[in-house]
Amino acid sequence: MLTAAAAESRVWAATSPYEVLQKKAETIRTENSTNGWAYIVSGAFSLGVSIPAYFLSDDVFAKSVYIVGETLGIAAVGYGSYLVLIENDYRRFNKVLKGVPELSEHERNKLSRLFLQENALQAKNIRKIKVITFALTAGLNYLDGFTTQHRELKTTHFFLAAINTLAALSFTLSKSEEEKMYESLASSDPVHQIDLVVGNYVGLRFHF
């Protein structure tokens, strides 16, 4: 039985780079719209409760809590508006390609592949930064744990070190969706394959 990730990889591999770009753009647009409106509604609700409660309350601590609620509400509305109104990179690049109707199908696929490759490389570099960051943090936690004389503090440092170590390993072993998507395309691209034909049979297949 195929996992969801494996099934999705097969879907990417079975489509052209331009079709992958279009599907990815629409998927992100739908997700951003759903999440954006969720943030807007929750932020508006937080503001609707926090603002009148602030003026009705006489307690200093309660007013501080309501101020935090107002701040978070405004931030949620702003972030939700960003998700709804600002288009993702895939959709913007797709608009650029559609704005040049004289492009052939081959040229659109080539430009889409380059765009997907660039996104995959960026995602890989971001993943490397996360691995290095968590690994260095874990190293410092281990160092503090071994050097401190306080037993409770030592336990805390080792606990944090374990969490950061797991996070570093997780980002090391798991590739981002952009990387998997581009690798699926690359593996199915006939341009990157050479078949050594002997008689009527394909003897060897090289990938590069």
- pLDDT score of 106 more than 50: yes
Are the C-beta atoms of residues 84 and 37 closer than 8 Å to each other? Answer: yes
Q: Which two tokens stand for residue 103?
A: 């492009």
Q: Of the ranges 6-20, 123-137, 166-180, 185-199, which is most confident? A: 123-137
Give the N- to C-terminal CA distance of the chain in Å, as an integer: 29
Longest dimension (CA), the chain: 90
DSSP code string of 42-107: HHHHHHHHHHHHHHH---HHHHHHHHHHHHHHHHHHHHHHHHHHSPPHHHHHHHHHHT-TT--HHH
In 3D space, the residue among 121, 108, 127, 197 whose CA is nearest the CA of residue 168 turns out to be 127
Question: β-strand 201-207 against 193-198: which pairing, if any?
Answer: antiparallel
Q: What is the pLDDT of residues 24-68, one digit of tens each?
A: 999 999 999 999 999 999 999 999 999 999 999 888 898 899 999
Q: What's the pTM?
A: 0.69
Task: Give the number of residues written for the chain.
Answer: 208
Q: Is 207 helix (H, G, I), strand (E, B) or coil?
A: strand
Q: Which pLDDT tens digit goes with each residue over 162-182?
A: 999 999 999 999 888 888 888
Query: What is residue 8's predicted lDDT score, i.e. its pLDDT?
Result: 53
